[in-house]
Structure 1
Amino acid sequence: MNSRKFPFINTLLVIVFIFLTGCKDSPKENKETAKDQKDKYAYGEMEWQQGMEIFNEKCASCHNFEMNEIGPNLSGITSEVDKDWLKAFIHNPQKVIESGDERAVAKFETFKLYMPPFPEIQGDELENLLGFIHRFSEAEKKNKNARPGGLINPIPEKLASSNLNLVLEEWLTIPASADKAPLARINTFLPLKTDTGERLFISDLRGELYEIVDDTVQVYLDLSKEPDFFHSPGWGNGLGSFAFHPEFEKNGLLYTTHTVPGETATADFAIPEGIEAKLQWVITEWKTENPSAKKYNGTKREVVRMDMYNRAHGLQEIVFNPFAKKGEPDYGLLYLGIGDGTAALAGHPELTDSFSHIWSSILRIDPLGTNGRNGNYGIPEDNPFVGDSEKLDEIWARGFRNPHRFAWNEKNPSQMLVSNIGQHSVEEVNLIKKGADYGWPNREGSFLYDVDANTELVYPLPEDDSKYTNPVIQYDHDEGNAVCGGYFYNGDNIPLLKGKYIFGDIPQGTFFYSEASDIVDGQQSKVLRMGVELNGKTTTLKEITKNTRVEVRMGQDSQGELYIFTKSDGKVYKVIGCNESN
């Protein structure tokens, strides 16, 4: 029921949290520590999303976590009252009032109105609602500058569903790299175009780089045997990415990224003195003796090493522009997508808000050059800040929390997209412009972000916002949790996908598309949901994987056809069609 159409409902909804806030002398006052509360309340992005959806449906028209407006400020509520008391009151407020509870009676005497009971909110839904309230109310207590106007639901319009379903065919399963869940951590899929066709490769974060041969896989290179190789489940590190030089068949050069513990060796890009680096990302060049061999054998050299503040949001992807031709400026140049290493919210936003640091940036280097800071790579002369003493020559663009995947449109080479995983409000895809600033940690999507305010919220933009470049695609966290960068469909087998940029949401396992013709700088492209079919049945990846957290990734071969894989169970699917549903 829409509370805006029925004003009395707003009043009733106000009462629910009026009883829950503002009175600290209740005998059920909660004295638990922050750790006790974290352990007691539902924790996790998926749980908070469901809680937020319930909150937006039933409470958000009256309440926020900042100030008393139509309803009371919810900041700190879970520190003021016991969780069991909250549950009891939500289920039957009249019963709690008539029991003589101090808090409930005091508020009832003020407002003279019973809140309607919500007994239908039970089980996980109730736990997740309270987990969301706890997370956001605790974050508001840390709002050092008391910034008002936080947006719990920054994009209230829901994404429309298209009538298109991706038709999947299960193809193969990557071998388990552990004896307990997650059994595999497959992360990157890449084709290698050859004179006789193509070869397909897929990697596991635990260190194995596989080649797919005759619908099976075999290890091509195992980085887990590298000295000090380090990975930790859930943090996006280990063997992060790999890229074949466009002349691999001639020069045999392959590039990889992997993690090692902090201070393993001197970093070319070091965290400033006084700040601990938890780990390092290393780019390695591997030169194979025989480019056509099915197993790597050759030499290696280190290209560049960089410190990272923490284990997450590191060096997500390295990639060559797959459509650049010899003689063109982009040919043979390597792009690096570097996240903030969580430093922005850990007291060091200055590391991630500067053209003089690499973090939160996209770098562009020549791996065969020698004029970089360590002599092991080069700096392209057409990089935007070459010669600027206050900015790094390596930077192509900056302002990203976690730049996850790159995509170029073969039909329109000026369309270079980078997906950027958001904090807690907005997922985004950016149309990359040379030298542009995309805003993090001062922007999340097309909204203001403030590391000194409630870090679970975004805020309306100021009137003058010309400094930053907004994304061309975005959705908020009642649609998903972490954007999975996708691809422009360039294949010939599925006409319904022509002209579309197809992408997904990592934990939810859902898919979306935008028309390539709608992706224009300075405006938001329309986003439509897509369905999934497998074995003739409309389904979802959650149903297929039997996992509430899907961990989906996407790949594309050299013919432009698409692949879907689910990281935690090692399953790889071909996209073999697209059906129009009724």
Structure 2
Amino acid sequence: MGVRRRWVPAIIATAIAATLMAPPAGAGSTTSTDAPITDPVPEQPEQSRLGLVLQEHAQLPASQPTPPATDQRLMRHNRINYVGEAPDGSGRMYVPDLNGPLHLLSGGQQHVYLNFEERFEHFYSGRGMGSGFGFVTFHPEFAENGKFYTVHTEDEEAIATEEPTYPNQPDPFVQSVVTEWTAADPSANEFAGTSREIFRFGFSTQIHAIQQIDFNPTAEPGDPDYGLLYLAVGDGGIGLDTDVPQDMSTPAGKILRIDPEGNDGPNGQYGIPASNPFVGKPGALGEIYALGMRDPHRFSWDPGGEHAMYLGHIGQHAIEAVYEVRAGDNFGWSQREGRFEFRPENQCWLYPLPEDDEQYGYAYPVAAYDHDPPANWPCNSDSGHAISGGQVYRGTDLPQLRGKYVFGDLVDGRVLYTEVSEMKRGAERAPLHEVQLFDTDGKRMRMTDFVGDGRVDLRFGTDSERNLYLLAKANGKIWKVVGTRTGSGSEVTEGVARDLVSYYDFEHPFAADDSREVDSGSSRTLLTQVNGGEDMRVVDSAFPDSNNALQVQQVAPAANGNDDWKAGVWEGDANGVESLSAFNGTKGATVMGWFKMTGENPSPNSTTPDTDDRFNAVGLAGILSGDSNGHDVRALLELIQVNGELRLVALGRRLDGGASQTFAAQQDWREVLPPGEWVHVAATFDYTTGEMALYRNGRPLPGFYTVPGDPWQVDGSGTSGTNPRGVKIGGSFPQNNVERNPCNCRMDSLMFLNEAASADTIAQQYLRFFRH
């Protein structure tokens, strides 16, 4: 089975109306320009040749939310979300699971140390991505004092009876509870001892509560920061339409710092460090260390250098950011998202900073990437991106990683890094790099391959030796980074990349709905896997670095229905698919990819009662014309009958509604595409000259034109000045209202270029798939 996950509908952003505090005068205005910014971080993470070798370290047991979840995103193998090492010299690793268990790992053995679902009557983990047992951190003197600290969420029944540390948000839905535990025997593998509640706060929604609590592991006894507990408190989901993150009288949207051993807090259960930046400021909570946050998901300290604190901050609909956190910082939410002005009335865009921005004193990210939803995906829908803050590697075993802040996207599972030396406040964003991943056998994989799911739910952790770990809720596994290696770079040659409009390698399921495939070409046009959905992505390798392929097939040969597995893009509007405008008036096109015949071709004709009748064509892949009904094409690779014999053809149309021309291979199609064998096939179309060509495994195929004369009406210009209606793959009619010409086959690395590629370009691209 390939990478898969149950279908998850797009989550449309909804605003929760509330007015808690007016925004600062002028903070939301701009005096320079009102032009929106539709691509705030145009530079994408660069594909690095640095690779991490991952070795499976542990498989944690399955668990279930309480109450049972209805949100598919919570229906994971389990919901493990961190791995660390207890600071007692025992080597025991701890792993919290949002569904309740706290696991200890030691010598290959697993123990449930404490189960929150059993311990707390009102424990709640059934709604909200961060609800449940969120985090655990151990006091630096745990070996002596047995103290550790946790945060978990409780339901509305607890809210009705339990007194919060500070007034809850309006109509609270969950409360985050911070608890201090004291183990009678710190070396035991099951908790026995006492506990006390030290902090409680209620949030209006099930999102953006307290995500992490932690001690600064770089602080030594006698340092001002030693033994102080940091709490990352989200905005409760209401910062979008209120100024809660800027309101200094509430904990929401802040990082707090408290002294668990003090008693001058409002409930007498903790202290407020005198060194906190807002102590004594009228109207401000003394616990506040930094403010202006939406969802401060993960923070960590650099164990080397200047021991900087870094925060991975999940944005609204555009910016995923890394901040360096210093006492008194204000990151600007919800007046700012990253280094841009945010306006809640139009979340599809961000705006330039106003000319008077410096007066507000906001601190901006040292590194960031944007969501960049696919071109044909609603901008106000969940596009499946969220940053997972990581770790600065300062270990000794992997010198190529030293000084790099390694983090990732928790949804799609990309692993990224940036150099700490380049993450400077007040400077340009540090460049981001996407690392390659390998298993211990040297096979290049992606996290979606490691977990077998389009939604990874990736997190990072470390141990006392500063080793790096990755973990995922999708399959509940933990991997240790045991080595580095040099990867082989992109599968796409420079010659192809210049003209590559769409590229589907079936290694990039769309995390918000992995019945779709992300386009790695310039157009970023989301591909739909019709009828078969995620099951169409299967484990198969057309070339060494491939892991998955697309399966298309006829489903019910005897029924004239609409259940065949195929793929495509369709826009019935006369304006066509805007993101495919590179094919509007183009002077040339190329369609190429890997194909493997896996069943009966051509398929039985499901439109006739004759069981011996067959369709007269087998659809491979093509670009539709601007006036297409889902069948007519601008450029197509196909098997079709020519003079009564099935042949591999390039079929093209220069003008919408005009005549087509077919260039057919002379060789028998069964020799070109033998059953069970991966073959690279390409078709090129030069609309200015009328020349077409076919290629097999990088070499030209001899062929002939089937229509005499000049059906294209060649005049030196390109195609019609219209956008294509879409693309079709594995049959006709990607809108799925008719099924014709199915292909029982697999496909990999389909490329659509707006140029008639040369023979050398195609040969080089074919060879590139085998670079090593």
1:191-212 CA-to-partner distances (Å, cap 9, x unmatched) read: 1122x44221001101100000
Q: Distance in 2 between matches of 1:254 and 1:328?
A: 20
**3-state DSSP of counterpart to 2:36:** coil
Q: 1:285 aligns with which of 157, 180, 202?
A: 180
Alignment of 1:408 with 2:374, yes or no, is no
- Name the amino acid aligned to 2:403: G
1:216, CA displacement in angstroms?
Answer: 3.1
1:252-271 CA-to-partner distances (Å, cap 9, x unmatched) read: 11110010113241111223
Call closer, same or farther: CA 1:448–1:145 in 2, change over 3 Å. Answer: closer
Q: 1:250 aligns with which of 137, 144, 169?
A: 144
Q: Is the 8 A contact 1:423 1:456 kept in 2?
A: no
Q: Is the 8 A contact 1:343 1:352 kept in 2?
A: no
1:526-578 CA-to-partner distances (Å, cap 9, x unmatched) read: 21111111131111011222211111111100111000111121011111111
Aligned twin of 2:363: 469
Q: Distance in 1 between matches of 2:302 and 2:151?
A: 25
Q: Is the 8 A contact 1:314 1:338 kept in 2?
A: yes
Call closer, same or farther: CA 1:261–1:351 in 2, change over 3 Å. Answer: same
Q: 1:321 aligns with which of 189, 211, 216?
A: 216
1:209-253 CA-to-partner distances (Å, cap 9, x unmatched) read: 000022232100111121211112552110011111111111111
**3-state DSSP of counterpart to 2:469:** strand
1:188, CA displacement in angstroms?
Answer: 1.9
Q: Is the 8 A contact 2:410 2:458 kept in 1?
A: yes
Q: 1:532 aligns with which of 437, 456, 477?
A: 437
Q: Distance in 2 between matches of 1:234 and 1:543?
A: 26
Alignment of 1:223 with 2:121, yes or no, is no
- Name the amino acid aligned to 1:360: G
Q: Distance in 2 between matches of 1:422 and 1:557?
A: 28
Call closer, same or farther: CA 1:282–1:42 in 2, change over 3 Å. Answer: closer
- Name the amino acid aligned to 1:580: T
Q: Is the 8 A contact 1:343 1:351 kept in 2?
A: yes
Alignment of 1:457 with 2:342, yes or no, is no
Q: 1:353 aligns with which of 242, 246, 264?
A: 246
Aligned twin of 1:574: 480
Aligned twin of 2:391: 487
Q: Distance in 2 between matches of 1:484 and 1:201?
A: 19
Q: How does 1:35-434 map to 2 (within 5 A)?
A: 43-44=9-10, 149-178=35-64, 181-194=75-88, 196-225=89-118, 226-262=120-156, 263-264=159-160, 265-271=162-168, 275-345=170-240, 347=241, 349-434=242-327
Q: Is the 8 A contact 1:186 1:568 kept in 2?
A: no
Kindly tell me the number of residue pairs found equivalent between the two proteins: 442
- Name the amino acid aligned to 1:269: Y
1:183, CA displacement in angstroms?
Answer: 2.2
- Name the amino acid aligned to 2:437: V
Aligned twin of 1:60: none
Q: Is the 8 A contact 2:87 2:142 kept in 1?
A: no
Task: Give TM-score, length-normalised by structure 1.
Answer: 0.73
Q: Is the 8 A contact 1:484 1:504 kept in 2?
A: yes
- Name the amino acid aligned to 2:245: T
Q: Distance in 2 between matches of 1:212 and 1:442?
A: 43
- Name the amino acid aligned to 1:389: P
Q: Is the 8 A contact 2:400 2:484 kept in 1?
A: yes
Aligned twin of 2:469: 563
- Name the amino acid aligned to 2:331: Y
Q: Is the 8 A contact 2:51 2:485 kept in 1?
A: yes
- Name the amino acid aligned to 2:200: R
1:145, CA displacement in angstroms?
Answer: 11
1:351, CA displacement in angstroms?
Answer: 2.1
Q: Distance in 1 between matches of 2:476 and 2:255?
A: 29
Aligned twin of 1:548: 454
Q: Distance in 1 between matches of 2:110 and 2:385?
A: 31
Q: Distance in 1 between matches of 2:325 and 2:422?
A: 15
**3-state DSSP of counterpart to 2:448:** helix
1:466-525 CA-to-partner distances (Å, cap 9, x unmatched) read: 221101010001387100100000211111101111100001100111111112111221
Call closer, same or farther: CA 1:508–1:293 in 2, change over 3 Å. Answer: same
**3-state DSSP of counterpart to 2:415:** strand
Greater helix proportion:
1
Aligned twin of 1:94: none
- Name the amino acid aligned to 1:396: Y
Q: Distance in 2 between matches of 1:217 and 1:42?
A: 32
Task: Give TM-score, length-normalised by structure 2.
Answer: 0.55
- Name the amino acid aligned to 1:309: S
1:455, CA displacement in angstroms?
Answer: 2.3
Which of the pair has more CA radius of gyration? 2
**3-state DSSP of counterpart to 2:227:** coil
Call closer, same or farther: CA 1:508–1:392 in 2, change over 3 Å. Answer: same
1:148, CA displacement in angstroms?
Answer: 5.1
- Name the amino acid aligned to 1:564: L
- Name the amino acid aligned to 1:437: N
Q: Distance in 1 between matches of 2:113 and 2:261?
A: 23
**CA RMSD of the aligned region, Å?**
2.3
- Name the amino acid aligned to 1:182: R
Moved more, 309-318 or 351-360: 351-360
**3-state DSSP of counterpart to 1:343:** coil
Q: Distance in 2 between matches of 1:266 and 1:413?
A: 40
Call closer, same or farther: CA 1:357–1:405 in 2, change over 3 Å. Answer: same
Q: Is the 8 A contact 1:470 1:522 kept in 2?
A: yes
Moved more, 418-427 or 261-270: 261-270
- Name the amino acid aligned to 1:459: Y
Q: Distance in 2 between matches of 1:335 and 1:384?
A: 14
Q: Distance in 1 between matches of 2:235 and 2:471?
A: 26
Q: Is the 8 A contact 1:514 1:525 kept in 2?
A: yes
Gaps of 5+ in 1: 1-40, 46-134
Could you tell me the percent identity over the aligned residues?
38
Q: Distance in 2 between matches of 1:520 and 1:414?
A: 14
Q: Is the 8 A contact 2:87 2:138 kept in 1?
A: no
Q: Distance in 2 between matches of 1:270 and 1:457?
A: 34
Q: Is the 8 A contact 2:128 2:206 kept in 1?
A: no
Q: Distance in 2 between matches of 1:574 and 1:42?
A: 29
1:159, CA displacement in angstroms?
Answer: 2.1
**3-state DSSP of counterpart to 1:517:** helix
Gaps of 5+ in 2: 1-6, 16-27, 69-74, 374-383, 489-772
Q: Is the 8 A contact 1:208 1:224 kept in 2?
A: yes
1:320-350 CA-to-partner distances (Å, cap 9, x unmatched) read: 00110000001000000011110123x4x13
